[in-house]
Amino acid sequence: MLVNFKEMLMKAKKENYAVPHLNINNLEWTKYILEKCNELNIPIILGVSEGAAKYMGGFHAIFGMVNGLIEDLNITIPVCLHVDHGSSKETCMKAIDAGFTSVMIDASRYALEENIKITKEVVDYAHARGVSVEAEVGHIGGAEDNIISTITNATLEDCLTLYENTKIDALAPALGSVHGFYKGEPNLDFETMKKISDSLPIPLVLHGGTGIPDDKIKKAISCGICKININTELQSVWSKAVRDYLSENKTVYDPRKIIGSGEAAMKNRIEEIVTLFGTKR
């Protein structure tokens, strides 16, 4: 069933675990993620970046694909279909109108006042339609969809101001994480993370889940992180498996065999992620 993330993340906050947000790129990835999460009986958030939405044809095409897979594969777990880093109110509205159950409005590139104004407009539109909203304070570093950002850490004060003025459903405070692979050890500000979590009634989100060591993931969950976004890591395990398969099967040309050769590696990694996050239904 397609749902927003409110209930699944509030439960995670109460019971101290995290729900995975896994980015999707095509039908096969969506199918593998849904099948594996259904087998593990855990809720899942399917993240769709603007670049991935464009690649797959658009928000309507994705909504139809996800809904169809849920029905045809008898998926019974809660599934949240979420826009990742929506860059404008218009993008978020388009996704909501197409049936997405959740959006992230990322107006973090603007000054706080403007971030609040845009986020609040999205919240008003989304909440009137039962859709959940995530927002970002500070800047998450690294590169995603070829958009490169430098890290600026969020402050407790800015997080409280944004929440009070918008009543978002989840907050991604940038506290040292980056999209893509880390150069060296990630340097996460757990102290501020805990303070923000203790001061807000909503769940926190950790972006840039790829490459964060297991002990730091666990620490982040203990500091209030309830949703962890993973993209690069699944791309990496899938592409390695496909590369290995192609180098051993030089004459294969059936795309189903080529794309499908990454299925087992992806599903195994998803199980490890879910075990690490302690995700429950």
Residues annotated as catalytic (active site), given as ranges = 84
Instruction: Establish if 136 lies at the interface with ligand 13P (CB under 6 A).
Output: no
Q: Which is nearer to ligand 13P, 197 or 231 (CB)?
A: 231
Instruction: Establish if 83 lies at the interface with ligand 13P (CB under 6 A).
Output: no
Q: Which is nearer to ligand 13P, 132 or 231 (CB)?
A: 231
Kindly write out the interface string for residues 91-130 of this chain, putting x where it contacts ligand 13P by CB under 6 A and - elsewhere. ----------------------------------------
Instruction: Establish if 50 lies at the interface with ligand 13P (CB under 6 A).
Output: no
Instruction: Establish if 20 lies at the interface with ligand 13P (CB under 6 A).
Output: no
Instruction: Establish if 232 lies at the interface with ligand 13P (CB under 6 A).
Output: yes
Q: What is the 3-state secondary structure (H, E, C) of the chain?
A: CECCCHHHHHHHHHHCCCEEEEECCCHHHHHHHHHHHHHHCCCEEEEEEHHHHHHHCCHHHHHHHHHHHHHHCCCCCCEEEEEEEECCHHHHHHHHHHCCCEEEECCCCCCHHHHHHHHHHHHHHHHCCCCEEEEEECECEEEECCEEECCECCCHHHHHHHHHHHCCCEEEECCCCEECCCCCCCCCCHHHHHHHHHHCCCCEEECCCCCCCHHHHHHHHHCCEEEEEECHHHHHHHHHHHHHHHHHCCCCCCHHHHHHCCHHHHHHHHHHHHHHHCCCC
Contacting residue, 84, 134, 136, 263, with ligand 13P by CB under 6 A: 84
User: Judged by CB under 6 A, how many residues of this single chain contact ligand 13P?
Assistant: 15
CB of residue 213 to ligand 13P, shortest distance in Å: 14
Interaction site with ligand 13P (CB under 6 A):
23, 47, 84-85, 179-180, 207-210, 229-233
